[in-house]
């Protein structure tokens, strides 16, 4: 399966309902199924409410709402929901044995070329896939909450996921208006693990009594959080200088312990003289023009945010 036409979403909770909405907004006929009829009954009202919010903020055209709702088919059985669909997105409760039984059932019900994707936040994709006889067509598709506003989809490659399945999923994510990234099957994938680094550190700082709750949150929001939407952490190191980050983290290692040790990759790059934009090579490579344009893009973004901040305060 390389071109997706019809989609089934399994699980009609917070995520499933939002995912079905995004699929229908992008023009896909979308079946949605939940084991519990009460959850299924609430789907249309929930989606209608969200669409009204989006219309009120000029993100969806008012005259599109009925068409979007008509593309969402609440289906009372798994059999009916999966009939002749090209792509299944599972968003049921985070319980590995329930997900594995569902995938075994989906494997029996779906066409042989249908891709089965799981929205699990934590489980191994390979473990979910091994409940089926089509492991090459099982993939992780990790959405963020709320699905109708968060741009990222993490596409997770299980040990036997095929390149074609990855490509189908990536192309679907783009057709849904999302920004896909691909990563190997590993705990926390990308986003959850990156967030864990920050959240765990924030809680440790609080626990050590170094600052109060509000100041820790404000420190993030007004510094790295302020520019994160435009500059990712690796690009921030390129801009600041890999040597500067290396020496700072080495001092943290000395004072706070081995868990702050700068990664070998950072040390290797510093030894090679790849120090970021100042040497035109760090985690990315730059020409003079691309380095200047990155700085300009960052500053334009920060100036816009600075104006918004003036209005807000």
In terms of CB distance, is 98 or 298 closer to ligand NAD?
A: 98
Q: Which of 66, 75, 62 is nearest to 24 (CA)?
A: 66
How many residues interact with ligand NAD (rule CB under 6 A)?
Answer: 22
Tell me the window of 5-13, 181-189, 198-206, 281-289 that interacts with ligand NAD (CB under 6 A): 5-13
In the complex, which residue's CB is closest to ligand NAD?
13
Give CA–CA dist 226/212, Å, rounded: 20
By CB under 6 A, residue 116 contacts ligand NAD: no
By CB under 6 A, residue 41 contacts ligand NAD: no
- Three-state DSSP class for residue 33: strand
- What residues between 259 and 298 interact with ligand NAD by CB under 6 A? none
User: Are β-strands 152-157 and 179-184 bridged in parallel, bridged antiparallel, or unpaired?
Assistant: parallel
By CB under 6 A, residue 10 contacts ligand NAD: yes
User: Are β-strands 138-143 and 152-157 bridged in parallel, bridged antiparallel, or unpaired?
Assistant: antiparallel
By CB under 6 A, residue 8 contacts ligand NAD: no
Task: Pick the binder of ligand NAD from 45, 52, 66, 94 (CB under 6 A).
Answer: 94
Tell me the window of 11-19, 177-185, 210-218, 263-271 that interacts with ligand NAD (CB under 6 A): 11-19
Q: How far is the CB of 188 from ligand NAD (least distance, A)?
A: 12
Task: Pick the binder of ligand NAD from 25, 119, 165, 235 (CB under 6 A).
Answer: 119
Q: Which of 149, 138, 144, 223 is nearest to 185 (CA)?
A: 138
Give CA–CA dist 23/31, Å, rounded: 10
Query: Strand order in 6-10's β-sheet?
Result: 72-74, 29-33, 6-10, 87-90, 115-118, 138-143, 152-157, 179-184
Give CA–CA dist 159/125, Å, rounded: 8
By CB under 6 A, residue 158 contacts ligand NAD: no
By CB under 6 A, residue 42 contacts ligand NAD: no
Read off the tokens for 284.
């990315």
List residues binding ligand NAD (CB under 6 A).
Answer: 10-16, 34-36, 39, 91-94, 98, 102, 119-121, 143, 145
């Amino acid at each position: 399966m390389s071109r997706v036409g019809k989609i089934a979403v399994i699980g009609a909770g917070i995520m499933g309902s939002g995912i079905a909405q995004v699929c229908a907004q992008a023009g896909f006929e979308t079946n949605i199924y939940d084991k519990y009829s009460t959850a299924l009954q609430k789907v249309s009202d929930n989606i209608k409410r969200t669409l009204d919010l989006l219309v009120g903020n000029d993100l969806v055209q008012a005259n599109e709402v009925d068409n979007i709702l008509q593309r969402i088919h609440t289906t009372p059985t798994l059999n009916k929901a999966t009939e002749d669909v090209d792509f299944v997105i599972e968003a049921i409760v985070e319980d590995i044995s329930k997900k594995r039984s569902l995938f075994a059932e989906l494997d029996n019900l779906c066409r042989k070329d249908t891709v089965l994707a799981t929205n699990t936040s934590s489980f191994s994709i390979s473990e979910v896939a091994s409940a089926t006889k089509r492991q090459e067509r099982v993939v992780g598709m990790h959405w963020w909450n709320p699905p109708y506003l968060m741009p990222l989809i993490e596409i997770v490659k299980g040990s036997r996921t095929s390149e074609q399945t990855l490509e189908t999923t990536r192309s679907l994510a783009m057709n849904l208006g999302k920004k896909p990234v691909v990563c190997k099957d590993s705990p926390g994938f990308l986003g959850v693990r990156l967030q864990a680094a920050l959240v765990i550190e924030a809680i440790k700082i609080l626990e050590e009594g170094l600052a109060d709750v509000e100041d820790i949150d404000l420190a993030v929001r007004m510094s790295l959080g302020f520019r994160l939407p435009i500059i990712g952490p690796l690009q921030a190191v390129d801009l600041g200088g890999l040597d500067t980050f290396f020496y700072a983290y080495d001092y943290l290692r000395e004072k706070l312990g081995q868990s702050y040790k700068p990664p070998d990759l950072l040390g290797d790059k510093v030894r090679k003289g790849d120090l970021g934009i100042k040497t035109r090579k760090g985690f990315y490579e730059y020409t003079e023009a691309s380095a200047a344009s990155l700085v300009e893009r960052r500053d334009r973004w920060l100036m816009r945010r600075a104006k918004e901040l003036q209005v807000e305060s």
